[in-house]
A and B are shown apart, each in its own frame.
Chain A
Amino acid sequence: MSLKSPLGKVLGLGSAKEGTEHWWSQRVTAVAMIPLSLWFVIAVLGLPAFDYVTVSAWMAAPVNAVLLLLFTGTLLYHSMLGTQVVIEDYVHGFAKVATLIIVRFIYVALAVAAIFSILRVSLGN
C-alpha cells in the first residue's frame, strides 16, 4: 500500500526533499557562528583603540579580512533565517509575503555592502 496522494502518484516526484532545508541551515550556521563570533568578540575587545588607523589596519590583515567575511556572511545568513521564522509567525496574508521579500532584499544588500567594504579595506582603494 502506498501512502502517496493521487496527485503525488501522478507527478511521481516523491517527497519534497528540501522540507528540512531551512531548519537544518539554521543549525549549521549556528554551529559555524560559535567559533566565528567568539573570534570576532575577542578580536574586537583586543583592539588597542577604535580609531580609523587601528581598525582599518586590523581589517586589512588577510587573516582578519577572511575571518570577518566568514563571520559577517554567516551572521547575516543566520539572522535572515531567524527573522524569516519570526515574520512567518506574526505576519499574515499579503503583508507576510511582502515583508519576507523586502527583508530578503535588505539582507542581500547588507551582505553585498559588507563584503564590498571588507574587500575594499583589505585590497586597497
Chain B
Amino acid sequence: MSTKNRPLSPHLSAYKFNIGSTMSIMHRLTGVAMSVGTLLLDSWLIATASGPQGYDHFASIAGSLLGKLAIAGWVFGFYYHFANGIRHLFWDAGKGFELSQARASGITVALLSGLATVITWFLLFG
C-alpha cells in the first residue's frame, strides 16, 4: 500500500498568524540558536584557560563583525527564552491559561525581552 498519496494534515500555511503559536516556535528557535551558542561560551572558557595568546585570538574573532552579530543575537535569544521560559513555568504550574491571560503574558514577554535586549546592546556596543 502506498503511503505517499495519503492526505496530509493541514499545512502550516493554512493557519492564521497568532501570538501563541509564533511565540511558541520562537521559544524553540531561540533555544536551538543558543544551544549552538554554547560553542561560543565554551570557546571563551577554553581560550581563557589556554593563556593570553589563545585568548587574544578568540577576542579578535568575537570582536569581529560576525562575532558581534552572534553576541547580539545571543543577547536577544537569552532574554526572550528567559522571559518566555518563566511564562511556560507558570503554565506548568497550571496558571495563566485563560486566552486573555496568555495574550497579556505573551505581549509582556515580547516587550520586556525587546527592552532588555536594546539596553544590553547599548551597554555592550554603545
- Contact flags (1/0) for B20-33 with A, using CB distance below 8 Å? 00000000100110
Is B105 an interface residue when CB atoms closer than 8 A count as contact? no
Give the CA-CA distance A113 to B41 in the complex, in Å. 11
Is A25 an interface residue when CB atoms closer than 8 A count as contact? no
| Chain A, residue nearest B39 (CB) | A110
Give the CA-CA distance A27 to B39 in the complex, in Å. 23
Interchain CB contact under 8 A, A113 and B85: no
Give the CA-CA distance A121 to B44 in the complex, in Å. 12
Give the CA-CA distance A51 to B120 in the complex, in Å. 19
**Count of residues in A whose CB is under 8 Å from the partner chain:** 32
Residues in chain A near residue B28, CB distance under 8 A: 86
Interchain CB contact under 8 A, A55 and B32: no
Tell me the interface secondary structure of chain B in the complex: helix
Interchain CB contact under 8 A, A51 and B78: no
Interchain CB contact under 8 A, B48 and A110: no
Interchain CB contact under 8 A, A72 and B49: no
Residues in chain B near residue A59, CB distance under 8 A: 45, 48
Interchain CB contact under 8 A, A120 and B89: no
Give the CA-CA distance A86 to B28 in the complex, in Å. 8
Interchain CB contact under 8 A, B45 and A113: yes
Interface residue stretch chosen among B5-13, B51-59, B94-102, B106-114: B51-59
Residues in chain B near residue A52, CB distance under 8 A: 48, 51-52, 55-56, 59
| Chain A, residue nearest B56 (CB) | A52
Interchain CB contact under 8 A, A56 and B45: no
Beyond A51-B59, A76-B38, A114-B41, is A121–B48 a contact (Cβ under 8 Å)? yes
Give the CA-CA distance A59 to B41 in the complex, in Å. 13
Give me 17 A-to-B residue pairs in the complex whose CB atoms sit less than 8 angstroms apart, sorted by A's number: A27-B92, A34-B82, A45-B120, A51-B59, A56-B48, A56-B55, A72-B41, A79-B38, A82-B31, A82-B32, A83-B35, A114-B41, A114-B45, A116-B49, A117-B45, A121-B48, A125-B51
Using a CB–CB cutoff of 8 Å, the interface residues on chain B facing chain A are 28, 31-32, 34-35, 38-39, 41-42, 45-46, 48-49, 51-52, 55-56, 59, 78, 82, 85-86, 88-89, 92, 120, 123-124
New A-B contacts (15) at CB < 8 Å, excluding given A52-B51, A52-B55? A27-B89, A27-B92, A30-B89, A38-B82, A41-B78, A45-B124, A55-B55, A59-B48, A68-B45, A79-B38, A110-B39, A113-B42, A113-B45, A114-B46, A121-B48
